[in-house]
C-alpha cells in the first residue's frame, strides 16, 4: 500500500513535539527521527556495538550506555569522526524510519524530523509542514524546556537551516507564536486536508 506521509519540521523549540502529540491524539501515527536516533544507540543495540568497535571502549559508560559527552568532545576535537559516526548511525536510522513508516496503519503518517529538508528526508514524504516560530520565542521556549543557556540554543539555531529557506520548501506553514490552543486550531484544518489527500492519492 502506498502511504501518505507528511513531513513535520521546524527549528529547535519551534513546537514540533507539541504539534506531533496533537496529531497522535487524532489517531495519526507519528514516526520521530530524533527518538529513533536516540533509541538505536541504547545499550545492547547493534549500532552502539559498532560505535564501540570503531572508536574504542571509552565510548561506553560503565553501565553499557553511550558516553554522549565523551563522544561529543571527541568529535569536536576530531571533525572527521563525525562522518565515521554518521556512516554507522545514518543507515540504521534510515532503515528504522522506513520500517516504522511501512508498518503504520493510520490513514496518513507524520514523519517528524528537525532535519527534514537538510537531510533530504523529503524523498519519503508527499507533503511537508513547517512549524514556524519567531527566533526569540524558540530561544525562550527551548531554554526553559532544556535548562540550557540561551547562548547554547542560539548556537543550535544558527547551525540550522534559516527560517526563510524552510518557508520556501514547505507546502504548509503553521505559525506557533501564540497559545497552544492557537496552534491546535491551525493544525485541525490541515489534519482534515491530509485525510482527504490520503484518500485520493
Question: Which positions lie near ligand ADP, rule CB under 6 A?
Answer: 10, 12-18, 141-142, 145, 176, 179-180, 183
Pairing of strands 172-175, 5-9: unpaired
Q: In which residue are the cell numbers 506553514 written?
A: 173
Give the shortest CB-176-to-ligand ADP separation in angstroms. Answer: 5
Nearer to ligand ADP, 143 or 198 (CB): 143
| Kind plus residue range of the DSSP H or E element containing 70 | helix 68-77
Strand order in the sheet with 172-175: 29-32, 109-112, 5-9, 127-132, 172-175
C-alpha cell of residue 162: 534559516
Give the shortest CB-75-to-ligand ADP separation in angstroms. Answer: 22
Give the shortest CB-30-to-ligand ADP separation in angstroms. Answer: 12
Nearer to ligand ADP, 81 or 156 (CB): 156
Separation in Å, CA 162 to CA 25, 96, 106, 156:
30, 28, 32, 11
Give the shortest CB-62-to-ligand ADP separation in angstroms. Answer: 31
Nearer to ligand ADP, 16 or 127 (CB): 16
| Kind plus residue range of the DSSP H or E element containing 128 | strand 127-132
Separation in Å, CA 197 to CA 9, 73, 83, 116, 194:
19, 45, 38, 21, 5
Nearer to ligand ADP, 41 or 183 (CB): 183
Nearer to ligand ADP, 18 or 197 (CB): 18
Give the shortest CB-179-to-ligand ADP separation in angstroms. Answer: 6
Amino acid at each position: 500500500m502506498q502511504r501518505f506521509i507528511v513531513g513535520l519540521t521546524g527549528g529547535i523549540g519551534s513546537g514540533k513535539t507539541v504539534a506531533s502529540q496533537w496529531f497522535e491524539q487524532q489517531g495519526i501515527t507519528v514516526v520521530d527521527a530524533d527518538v529513533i536516533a536516540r533509541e538505536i544507540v541504547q545499550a545492547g543495540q547493534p549500532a552502539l556495538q559498532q560505535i564501540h568497535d570503531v572508536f574504542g571502549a571509552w565510548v561506553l559508560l560503565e553501565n553499557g550506555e553511550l558516553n554522549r559527552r565523551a563522544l561529543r568532545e571527541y568529535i569536536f576535537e576530531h571533525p572527521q569522526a563525525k562522518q565515521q559516526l554518521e556512516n554507522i548511525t545514518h543507515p540504521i536510522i534510515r532503515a528504522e524510519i522506513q520500517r516504522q513508516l511501512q508498518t503504520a496503519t493510520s490513514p496518513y503518517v507524520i514523519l517528524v524530523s528537525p532535519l527534514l529538508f537538510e537531510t533530504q528526508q523529503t524523498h519519503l514524504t508527499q507533503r511537508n509542514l513547517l512549524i514556524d516560530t519567531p527566533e526569540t520565542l524558540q530561544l525562550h521556549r527551548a531554554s526553559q524546556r532544556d535548562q540550557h543557556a540561551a547562548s547554547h540554543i542560539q548556537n543550535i539555531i544558527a547551525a540550522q537551516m534559516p527560517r526563510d529557506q524552510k518557508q520556501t520548501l514547505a507546502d504548509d506553514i503553521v505559525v506557533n507564536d501564540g497559545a497552544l490552543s492557537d496552534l491546535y486550531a491551525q493544525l485541525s484544518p490541515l489534519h482534515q486536508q491530509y485525510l482527504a489527500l490520503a484518500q485520493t492519492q
